[in-house]
């Protein structure tokens, strides 16, 4: 159960958001409705060579992975948020506080 959950998190959050970010940087910054933040980000991106663009995407991916990992640490009970006790069950089953470890192992296996 945990493996299926972790794989779904990775595919939906990491891969899904990476796809969105790659698309965002292809937008025309002059398109109507583009907010200032994205205009500036696209202008920055357009100045990069292909190697630096891939480095930027690597940084974005690492940030997404780190964020998911940190949220899982909270859900596992490894990190406290104002002394709030969080208990997560997957389909009614305890997860033995191993979501973060399982997620990081999954990511590591993909990187090999």
Task: Compute the C-alpha angle 19/3/95, nearest 5°.
Answer: 120
pLDDT in tens, 56-92: 999 999 999 999 999 999 988 887 788 787 778 788 7
Number of domains in the chain: 1
Determine how β-strand 93-94 pairs with β-strand 89-90: antiparallel
Please state which of the ranges 16-20, 33-37, 107-111 shows the lowest mean pLDDT.
33-37
Mean pLDDT of 83-103: 82
> In the predicted model, is pLDDT for residue 24 greater than 80?
yes
Cα(1)–Cα(9) distance, integer angstroms: 12
Give the pLDDT score at 78: 81
Q: 20 exposed, middle or buried (CB, 10 Å; 0-12, 13-18, 19+)?
A: exposed
Mean pLDDT of 2-14: 95
Give the pLDDT score at 30: 79
> In the predicted model, is pLDDT for residue 94 greater than 80?
no
- Enumerate the β-bridge partners of residue 89: 94
Give the pLDDT score at 53: 98
> In the predicted model, is pLDDT for residue 104 greater than 90?
yes
């Amino acid at each position: 159960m945990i493996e299926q959950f972790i794989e779904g998190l990775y595919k939906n959050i990491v891969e899904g958001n990476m796809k969105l970010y790659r698309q965002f940087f292809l937008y025309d910054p002059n398109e109507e409705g583009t907010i200032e933040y994205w205009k500036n980000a696209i202008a920055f991106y357009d100045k990069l060579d292909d190697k630096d663009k891939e480095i930027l995407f690597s940084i974005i991916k690492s940030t997404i992975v780190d964020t998911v990992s940190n949220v899982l640490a909270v859900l596992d009970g490894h990190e406290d948020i104002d002394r709030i006790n969080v208990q997560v069950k997957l389909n009614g089953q305890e997860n033995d506080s191993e979501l973060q470890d399982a997620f990081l192992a999954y990511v590591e296996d993909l990187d090999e």
